[in-house]
Structure 1
C-alpha cells in the first residue's frame, strides 16, 4: 500500500469516527456516548480508534472542531451565491437557521452542555465556536444591509439567540409555524432598520 493510499485510508477512518461520534451524541447524548459505542457505530476495531484518538476527550475535542467546520461549510455553501439577490436577507436567515438546526447543532449542543463542567472540552469549544461565530457574522454583515454597527450587532445577536432557541425548544412543539412567524417578524424589523433614513 502506498503512502498516499494509506493517508487516504487514515483520513477516511478518522472521518468515519468523527461522524460516528456525532451520531452517538445525537442518539445517546453526551453522558451515554462512550468510546465503545462510537467504535461500534463506526464499525472499526479498538486499535483503529486508539490509533486516531488516544482518549474519549481527544476524540470529543476533534469532534468539536469537525462539527464547527461542517456547520460553517454549510453556511458558506448556502450564502456564497447570494450576490445582490433581493431575497438575500431571507436566504441568509434561512442558512443561519439551518446551521443552527439538525444533527450537527444537536451534537454541538450536547458538547456545549458538557463543556460547562469539563474544562478540556470548554478550552476546545470556545475558540471553535468563536471562529464559527465570526465567520457567520462576516456573512451576516455582508448581507444584512444595516449601516449602524451597533444596530447590526444587536440584529446579529438577536438572530443567533432566536435560531438557537427555536432549535433547543423544537422538541417541545409539534407545529413549527410559530418558528416561521418569529423569524418573519425578525426579518420585517430588520428590513425597517435597513429602510430607515
Structure 2
C-alpha cells in the first residue's frame, strides 16, 4: 500500500507478495479493509511497544521531552504513517473502511495514553492538571500534519526541525516540571 496506494493495493497482490494462497489470505482477512486495517493495527502495536522500550532505556540525564517528541517524529517518517494516512483518506468515502479505522484510531489513542501516563505522570502545574488526551491529540495532529506535508517525495515545504523545536519550547512552558526524568534530570 505504501508503494502503490490504497486503490491499487489488492488482496490478490498482497497474497502473491506474502507467498500465500488467496484462499488462505481471505480465510484470515475476508475483506481488503480487514487486511489493511489489521496490518496497520499490528504495526501500530509494535510502534507503541518500541516507543515505550526506547523511552525506558533513555539515559537518566536525557531530556525526556526532547526525546519523546524526537522519537515520535522518527516514527512518523516510517511507512506505518504512510499506510495509516492512505487508509484514513480512503475511509472518508468508504463506509466499510471508516468503522474499522475509527476503532483503530481509538485503540491507538488509548494505548498511547497508557504509555504517556507511565512516562509522564500527571502533576499539578501553574495551569492545573494537564489534560493528557488533548495533549496527545495536539502532538499527533502536529506530527501528522508535518508528515503529510512531506508526503510527496523530495518536497519539504516546512522547516520541520524549527517547527518541532518551537513546539517543544511551547510544551516546556505549559508542562513545567512534568518533563523532568525520575532521577531529576531534564
Q: CA RMSD in A?
A: 2.8
Contact (CA 8 Å) 1:68, 1:129: kept in 2 or not?
Answer: no
Contact (CA 8 Å) 2:113, 2:132: kept in 1 or not?
Answer: no
Q: Which has the higher helix share?
A: 1
- CA gap 1:61/1:151 in 2 versus in 1, 3 angstroms: closer
- Distance in 1 between residues matched to 2:62 and 2:101, nearest whole Å: 35
- In the alignment, does 2:26 pair up with 1:50? yes
- In the alignment, does 2:139 pair up with 1:159? yes
Secondary structure of the 1:26 match is coil
1:189 aligns to what? 170
TM-superposed deviation, 1:77: 2.5
| Count of paired positions | 172
- Distance in 2 between residues matched to 1:161 and 1:54, nearest whole Å: 32
Q: How does 1:6-155 map to 2 (within 5 A)?
A: 25-82=1-58, 84-141=60-117, 142-143=119-120, 147=124, 148-150=128-130, 154-155=134-135
- CA gap 1:189/1:54 in 2 versus in 1, 3 angstroms: closer
Structure 2-normalised TM-score? 0.76
Q: Which structure exhibits the higher relative contact order, with contacts defined as CA atoms closer than 8 Å and separated by 6 or more residues?
A: 2
**4+ runs deviating over 6 angstroms:** none
TM-superposed deviation, 1:102: 1.4
Moved more, 81-90 or 32-41: 81-90
- Distance in 2 between residues matched to 1:61 and 1:161, nearest whole Å: 20
